[in-house]
Structure 1
Amino acid sequence: MKLLFLGSGSAFTVGANNYQSNMLLMDERGRKLLIDCGSDIRFSLHDRGYSYQDITDIYISHLHADHVGGMEFIGLTTFFDPRCPKPNLYLSKDVAAKLWYGCLAGGMQSIGNELADIDTFFNVHKVGRNEHFIWNDIQIFLVRVVHIDNGYFLMPSYGIFFTIGGQKVFITTDAQISLDTTQEYYENADIIFHDCETSRFPSSVHAHYKELVDLPERWKNKMWLYGYQPGHLPDAKSAGFLGFVQRGQIFEFYNRVPNPAISTAIDR
């Protein structure tokens, strides 16, 4: 099983050096689960030699454009291409409740002489609270994370936790450090892919590198960082992390300890 980072940058990554942090989980038979589908997706897929035709399964963590802005592209291209099956879409029930009218309906509701809805384009699988979905015989559990809490409501946002090759993997997606909700996953995971802001002007809605360096060594020692801003990056390895994920980096999972994921070649 492989995890490919189509990009490893933040929402506002610019230029050709990186893309938004969307990923492909791929098995040896070629099945692919797209983890988030941001507005860069047509370009980041093309750079890796893929296209919309390869996307049959999608997971959406939350409704910001770097995670959902490419859904209109995937939905319309697969709908109008008779070679493409309708993609499966997995997401939490509360995210699903706002995806269509909050993000997609404006550009997708009218097709020809018909009115469309989200089921026109996707096979929607809504995941309930404290539940999971199954992709390719893998149980993928949703982990509620704190991303934006504006004082009035907590924006629905979910990382994922799953086991492949005998190894437990935690992908935070966009998240602040909130030990009340994530500490058990830090402890139990064999490898962690963690949101990491590196901006000089912290936004307060992402975990910042300066906060992450204060985490216990036992957590940092199994943590890769992604979702960072353009520019100079700190020496994460000397601080105890596994490093910063690079665009195009592939992690191959084997049933071995203490190296749960082997990072393979990066082609930038």
Structure 2
Amino acid sequence: MKLTFLGSGSAFTTGDGNWQSNMLIESERGRRLLFDCGTDARLSLAEAGLGARDIDAVYVSHLHSDHVGGLEWLGFSTFFDPTAQRPILFIEQSRVTTLWANILSGSMARNGLSTLDDYFDVRLLARDGFFLWEEQRFSLTPMLHCMDGSVPLISFGLRFETSRARQLITSDTLFEPQRHGEFYSWADILFHDCETSYQQDGRPSRSGIHAHYEDLKTLSPELRRRMWLYHYQPGPKPDAKADGFQGFVAKGQTFDL
């Protein structure tokens, strides 16, 4: 199994040679699971030589457009192709109504003639649950992305263990080492959300919805040695390797899992 970052940039990445941080997991049999399907997905997949018919399943971490904005393209592309099958859609169960009613139905309902199930083979997941794909178990990992008023917005990363290592993909998350310590300790390799925005005077510019590089630098050397960083802004980046990290993930970089 291998993991490819179709892009490694932030939500608003544009014109810098990168794409949004959507990932592709490929099994030994050549089947493909898309980790999030953002607005860039059709373009980043095309750059990788792939199209809608090459995607067998999608996992949705949360409902921001850089993670679900490409589902209309994927659903329509397979729906109107008589030779294509519905992709499997893995999604935490409390999100599915909002995904359809607030995001996709405006165009995909087709005057009430269609539902989400017409486009995808929907598999609902428990908040603390898991799913099996190609005999691999993936466990949902809740991460606090931001506060929507008084309501926490949770993004569900994934934990999974292969014959080589235990992997954690955080998805979008705040810097919360106390809350996430158990997950950090468990993983041999961590792919961690990381923003890299700075003010003109060099001070970190924290959005309040992602883990900032300067905060991640305060983690222990042992933990930084296991950590790859992604979902960063365009422009110059710090020297992550010099600071003890594995480095910043590059667009198109592939990891043998």
**Please, what TM-score do these two structures have when normalized by structure 1?**
0.91
Q: Which residue of 1 aligns with 2:201?
A: none
Q: How many residues align?
A: 251
Q: Which residue of 2 aligns with 1:140?
A: 138
* Deviation sequence 1:173-198 (CA, Å, 0-9, x none): 10011234321111010100000000
Which residue among 240, 245, 248 is the counterpart of 1:236?
A: 240
Aligned to 2:99, the other structure's residue is in SS state: helix
Distance 1:16 1:205 in 2: 22
Unaligned 5+ segments in structure 2 are 199-204
Alignment of 1:67-82 (within 5 A): 67-82=67-82
Q: Which residue of 2 aligns with 1:158?
A: 156
Shift of 1:165: 2.5
Q: Which residue of 2 aligns with 1:196?
A: 194
Instruction: Please identify, of 28-37 and 146-155, the stretch whose mean Cα deviation from structure 2 is larger.
Output: 146-155
Q: Which residue of 1 aligns with 2:213?
A: 209
Unaligned 5+ segments in structure 1 are 254-268
Shift of 1:227: 0.2
Shift of 1:151: 3.6
* Deviation sequence 1:155-188 (CA, Å, 0-9, x none): 1311100012341100001001123432111101
Aligned to 2:154, the other structure's residue is in SS state: coil
Distance 1:176 1:156 in 2: 10
Q: Is the 8 A contact 1:94 1:156 kept in 2?
A: no
Q: Is the 8 A contact 1:144 1:181 kept in 2?
A: no
Aligned to 1:154, the other structure's residue is in SS state: strand
RMSD: 1.2
Q: Which residue of 2 aligns with 1:247?
A: 251
Aligned to 1:46, the other structure's residue is in SS state: helix
Q: Which residue of 1 aligns with 2:117?
A: 119
Aligned to 2:153, the other structure's residue is in SS state: coil
Q: Which residue of 1 aligns with 2:94?
A: 94
Q: Which residue of 2 aligns with 1:39?
A: 39
Q: Is the 8 A contact 2:91 2:125 kept in 1?
A: yes
- What amino acid does structure 2 have at the position aligned with 1:30? G
Q: Is the 8 A contact 1:24 1:35 kept in 2?
A: yes
Distance 2:12 2:3 in 1: 23
Aligned to 2:30, the other structure's residue is in SS state: coil
Q: Which residue of 2 aligns with 1:223?
A: 227
**Please, what TM-score do these two structures have when normalized by structure 2?**
0.95
Aligned to 1:155, the other structure's residue is in SS state: strand
Distance 2:143 2:97 in 1: 18
2:3 paired with 1:3: yes
Identity of aligned residues (%): 45
Q: Which residue of 1 aligns with 2:185?
A: 187
- What amino acid does structure 1 have at the position aligned with 2:231? G
Q: Which residue of 2 aligns with 1:256?
A: none
Q: Is the 8 A contact 2:16 2:234 kept in 1?
A: no
Q: Which residue of 1 aligns with 2:129?
A: 131
- What amino acid does structure 1 have at the position aligned with 2:181? Q
- What amino acid does structure 2 have at the position aligned with 1:213? K
Q: Is the 8 A contact 1:95 1:157 kept in 2?
A: no
Deviant stretches of 4+, over 2 Å: none
